Amino acid sequence: MEEPPIGDVFGEMIRDAFAVRTGVGPRPLAGGRVPRPVIEVIERDDGLINGAPADHYLDEPGEWEEQDHRALRLCRGHVLDIGVGAGRIAVELQRRGMAVTGLDTSAGAIAVARERGLRDTVLNTVDAYASASARYDTFLLLGNNLGLLENAERALVFLAALARLANPGARIIAQGTDPYGTTDPVHVGYHQRNRERGRLGGQLRLRLRYRRLATAWFDYLNCSVAELDAVLAGTRWRLTAIDEADRPYYLAVMELRE
Amino acid sequence: MEEPPIGDVFGEMIRDAFAVRTGVGPRPLAGGRVPRPVIEVIERDDGLINGAPADHYLDEPGEWEEQDHRALRLCRGHVLDIGVGAGRIAVELQRRGMAVTGLDTSAGAIAVARERGLRDTVLNTVDAYASASARYDTFLLLGNNLGLLENAERALVFLAALARLANPGARIIAQGTDPYGTTDPVHVGYHQRNRERGRLGGQLRLRLRYRRLATAWFDYLNCSVAELDAVLAGTRWRLTAIDEADRPYYLAVMELRE
């Protein structure tokens, strides 16, 4: 097989999912005529492949999981939505009159978020943006975006960047997934091999693919609350609340240490 | 990435899709708790990847496309359903009191078809089965199974095997897809490169993946009706009817030459 070129996988996918949902613009067809569902393909480095319909990235508030609504009630002040994607959360915060900025590394996702009405967007990494003068009161990592911590080492850098962007008293509200509730040998074995290599069990090595494009391989962290707490020990953030009502998913609230 | 091992991709996927639909038996979960949709992942040799929900393989007659119902009205005598999969079509033929045998190379698919009530099944290739003494009046290649002709050379062997399994007056009823209605440069370019290599434009080179497994790479033929007619010239079969009401999909009826 030709190795797929690296590109804006997420952006291309979101653009197509948006076209399918709105019925406007070119979208993937079978045989030039029959609409195809837009599916996000995720490869793991052990050869595991999963597909998931991408439409949920565009869900309106009435379609959300309850956990997202609970997360929004925790927001205050100026919000930076990290990995804003198609703006699912940020557009709703803006509608409620809150100050919200959407940050993403995907130009395609930012374009869709703007088309959906999001006014304040930043196309950048958290690291690079941390040298900007903007300051925030709430950092949102919903849609399992706690995974963007990548791994224990990278988490320190990421969280230091957020600390630089933080007003006093700022908080991070993040959705994570505890991966250890499974008995599936494919996953249990993967976690075990990860630990043998000095990685966290749920430190997934992934790439996304959509149509002809792939991302580079990246770490994506699914961790338990205890593992998250251990990661935070080396940072300016401390865990102040956990909402575990929707296990294996959880909402973590982290606040800037005085 | 670890190269995924070769295995019964289709069977594993169908087994999971069946478990999801019936709510019985183990099925893929996120975090050991949240059901995952069962998605068929198809890779093409140019790096294109597509996902499609697998549930349609289990559709009941009320959920079918009209074309499938029209195809069933063309069946007569003893039917061999080739690539029977989960038995979607064959179980319905059996329910209507027809003699029907389901053939597949996937042990997992055959197991699901039997669990859904299909009594007469064959786990084999068409080629190997052609040395059996069974004879049929109708060969069914629905669900786009005309693609199983693979390519022009392989089609001759495949169609000769069906001729050996045929009673006098037998017919093949096949659903195919004309791939040339697209203007998508990804597909138009692929068709062009195929032709430059002496392949038919829609002679796709594919493999399936599901969770940790992959198939070997295989040819899968999407051809126009004119191309199908040209392929048949070297065989004992002739095209006697085409139903193009659902383009780009078509139903082709081929009858054994006297």
Shortest Cα–Cα distance, B28 to chain A (Å): 8
| B124-178 tens-digit pLDDT | 999 999 998 999 999 999 999 999 999 999 999 999 999 999 999 999 999 999 9
- B44 or B27, which is more confident? B44
When pLDDT is averaged across residues B6-29 and rounded to a whole number, the result is 93
Residue of A nearest to B207 (CA): A1
Q: Which residue of chain A is at minimal alpha-carbon distance from B27? A: A184
For tokens 């959920």, what's the residue?
Answer: B63
Q: What are phi and psi of B203, to 5 degrees?
A: -80, 85
Indicate yes or no: CB of A211 within 8 angstroms of CB of B48: yes
Average pLDDT, chain B: 96
| Chain B residues closer than 8 Å to A47 by CB | 1-5, 212, 214
Q: Helix or strand or coil: residue B46?
A: coil
Q: How far is A182 from chain B, CA to nearest CA, in Å?
A: 4
Q: State residue B31's pLDDT score.
A: 67
* Amino acid at the residue A21: R
Indicate the residue of B4, B31, B45 with minimum beta-carbon distance to A2.
B45
Q: Give tens-digit pLDDT for A120-160.
A: 999 999 999 999 899 999 999 999 999 999 999 999 999 99
Task: Find all residues with CB under 8 Å of A83, minimum gap 6, and list them.
Answer: A103, A104, A141, A143, A145, A148
Residues facing A139 on adjacent strands = A80, A172
A181 conformational bin, left if phi > 0, alpha if psi -120 to 50, beta if neither: alpha
Q: Tell me which chain A residues have a C-beta less than 8 angstroms from the C-beta of B189.
A: none
Return the half-sphere exposure (C-beta side, CA atoms, 13 A cut-off) of residue A153.
3
| Overall average pLDDT of the A190-200 stretch | 98
| A-chain residues near B218 (CB < 8 A) | none
Indicate the pairing of strand A100-104 with strand A79-82: parallel
Kindly list the residues from chain B whose CB atom is less than 8 angstroms away from the CB atom of residue A28.
Answer: 184
Residue among A33, A41, A182 minimizing CB distance to B31: A182
Say yes or no to pLDDT of B217 above 70: yes
The full set of domains in chain A, from first to last, is 62-204+218-256 (3.40.50.150)
Supply the pLDDT for residue A53. 94
Q: B34-35 and A100-104: which strand pairing?
A: unpaired
Find where tokens 């401390």 sit.
Answer: A238
Rounded to whole angstroms, the Cα distance separating B78 from B103 reads 13
Asked if the Cβ–Cβ distance from B182 to A43 is below 8 Å, we say no
Distance CA B153, CA A102 (A): 55
Question: How far is Cα A72 from Cα A153, in angstroms, rounded to an integer?
Answer: 29
Rounded Cα distance between A249 and A243, Å, is 9
- % of chain A at pLDDT higher than 90: 90
- Verify whether the Cβ–Cβ distance A49 to B32 is below 8 Å: no
In tens, the pLDDT along B156-168 reads 999 999 999 999 9
A11, A107 Cβ separation under 8 angstroms:
yes
Of A221-225, A239-243, B85-89, B130-134, minimum mean pLDDT range: B130-134
**Structure confidence by residue, pLDDT tens digits, B81-96:** 999 999 999 999 999 9
Closest C-alpha among A189, A17, A51 to residue B16: A51
Q: Which residues pair with B49 in a beta bridge?
A: A211, B43
Six-digit token string for B50: 């597509």
pLDDT confidence of residue B112: 98
Residues pairing with B40 in the sheet: B52
Mean pLDDT across chain A, nearest whole number?
A: 96
Q: Percentage of chain A with pLDDT > 70?
A: 99
Best residue in A49, A218, A225, A246 to probe B by mutation, most B CBs within 10 Å?
Answer: A49
H or E element: which one contains A167? Answer: strand A166-177
Ramachandran region of residue A79, left (φ > 0), alpha (ψ -120 to 50) or beta? beta
User: What are the DSSP E strand ranges found in B17-57?
Assistant: 29-30, 34-35, 39-44, 49-53
Distance of CA A8 to the CA centre of its chain: 15
**Identity of the amino acid at A71:** A
Residue of A nearest to B43 (CA): A1
